[in-house]
Amino acid sequence: AGELDCLYKEIHGAANSLETIRCQREAVAKEKLCMESQLTRLKNDAINELEVIVSVYDTPMLESWTVCTRRYMVLPIALRLSGVKGKQWRRRNFVWNHN
């Protein structure tokens, strides 16, 4: 009788652990969906903010960016990115040389 009682307690504990794990999985899945949607929103907000800044300071670059994003063209976007990196490098170099 003692062995059966001990076995019952082990099975009951395992069932409780399994239920806890199921609840945790559901919570993690919900959190993952929430985080993914939040990440998408933050990404879109960052892109919009950059577009506003670029529209003020570099209108031709914004026009090129708009054309590239409309067409989903990878190569022009890569070329634009290298242009941005070049401008950043020149600006840093200019500031460093004039200090």
Q: What is the pTM of this model?
A: 0.50
| Residue that wins the pLDDT comparison between 62 and 77 | 62
Same domain, 79 and 98: yes
CA distance 48 to 67: 15
pLDDT at 98: 55
Same domain, 47 and 89: no
Same domain, 13 and 35: yes
CA distance 46 to 38: 12
- Tens-place pLDDT, residues 5-21: 999 999 999 999 999 99
| Residue that wins the pLDDT comparison between 76 and 60 | 60
- Tens-place pLDDT, residues 20-70: 999 999 999 999 999 999 999 998 898 888 888 878 888 887 787 777 777
Task: Determine the structural domain holding residue 48 and report its residue range.
Answer: 1-57
pLDDT at 77: 58
